Amino acid sequence: MQTHIAIIGAGLSGLSAARTLQAAGHAVQLFDKSRGSGGRLSSKRSSFGDLDLGGQYFTARDPDFCRAVEQWQAQGWVAPWTPQIFQSRQGQLSPSPDTQQRWVGTPRMSALTRGLANGLSVQFEARICEIFRGEQCWQLLDADGQLHGPFSHVLVATPAAQASALLAANPMLAAQAAAVSMEPVWAVAMGFKQALPTAMQACFVHDSPLAWVARNSSKPARNSAIDSWVLHASSAWTRQHLDLPADAVIEQLSSAFANVLQAALPAADCSLAQRWPSARPAQGPQTGALSDPQLGLHACGDWGPAGRAEGAWLSGQRAAQEILQSLAAR
């Protein structure tokens, strides 16, 4: 018997669960408040090409996730990225000993979630504000006052703060989501018509307002006509400058970037800034997913297991299995 399941959030965890549930023969409807899929793996179009302002890359350790990545590579959704990585400590640059395999979406990070969303029913620009349970099913209310349903199960795959409010029907699940502390990150992108004279393509930064620097144009299938860079501030610096105007953020992080390069930085031909209020979990539940099988209410996301893309995908898989087990027990 086909069951109707709602998933709120079309990031990696929500799409991971949706594909598994649909493959098992169930009718899945996804809702996302954004204009496109991806969550923090989304990309931004700009005058100097597509920019990965959120997740910069992902790694694969879990055997199931490794097999999924191989399938995505065969589909052309992802490719290995082997940058020349440095580290900066107390203003001193040195090659990074980190040699783990990194993967990126091609030709942009959002290509992965766009590929995963293909064949699924996704309603974008739909902000779900509240979910109600009647005697046997769930109804969803969006910001425009429209009701969606009925659904036998609801999976909340949003950032933790949003998830907590949507999980109000089960105070224990809501409290677990509310206990997750998320860290903010300011991201800045800069483009130069003339390439910067450095071999660096990525850098882990310490003792600085910056935490990460990446030559976005060094990633496979990117626009190489512009030397584009993405700078991520540290969460500590971001918390202290959360309400700083974007122009001031660009100015201060550009100065920090020049210190990392140990050279004067030419004026960028284009630049922009984006603030991620919930970029990564400071701490959170390590269960992989939250579930109330009796109510048919579930939650997953990268705010659970370690905050990585791999954790988000595995969390979606765990939630999907919880739902399938609940349906099988009926």
Q: Are strands 138-142 and 128-133 parallel, antiparallel or unpaired?
A: antiparallel
**Residues 82, 104: Cα–Cα separation, whole Å:** 10
| pLDDT at residue 281, as a whole number | 79
Residue ranges per structural domain of the chain: 4-43+113-180+285-328, 49-110+181-282
Backbone φ and ψ of 52, nearest 5°: -90, 90
| Rg (alpha carbons) of the chain, rounded to whole number | 21
CA–CA distances in Å: residue 311 to residues 286, 304, 306, 315: 10, 7, 6, 6
C-alpha closest to that of 237 among 180, 181, 273, 186:
186
Which residue is it, tokens 């980190």?
98
Asked if the domains at 4-43+113-180+285-328 and 49-110+181-282 fall in one CATH topology, the answer is: no
**Residues 68, 46: Cα–Cα separation, whole Å:** 30
Q: Please, what's the b/e burial string for 130-152 (b: 16 or more CB within 10 A of its CB; e: otherwise)?
A: ebebeeeebbbbbeeeeebbebb
CA–CA distances in Å: residue 165 to residues 28, 76, 169, 233, 308: 22, 37, 9, 29, 23
Half-sphere exposure (CA, 13 Å, Cβ side) for 179?
12
Residue 205 in 3-state DSSP? Answer: strand
Q: Per the structure block, which two tokens stand in for 54?
A: 């959120």
**Residues 174, 176: Cα–Cα separation, whole Å:** 5
According to the CATH classification, is domain 49-110+181-282 in 3.90.660.10?
yes
Q: Is the pTM of this model over 0.75?
A: yes
CATH class of 4-43+113-180+285-328: alpha beta
Q: Which residues of the chain have pLDDT under 70?
A: 1, 283-287, 304-307
Backbone φ and ψ of 214, nearest 5°: -140, 140
Strands (E), the chain: 4-8, 27-31, 44-46, 49-51, 78-81, 85-89, 92-95, 102-105, 121-123, 128-133, 138-142, 147-151, 153-156, 181-192, 202-205, 210-215, 227-233, 270-283, 290-292, 297-299
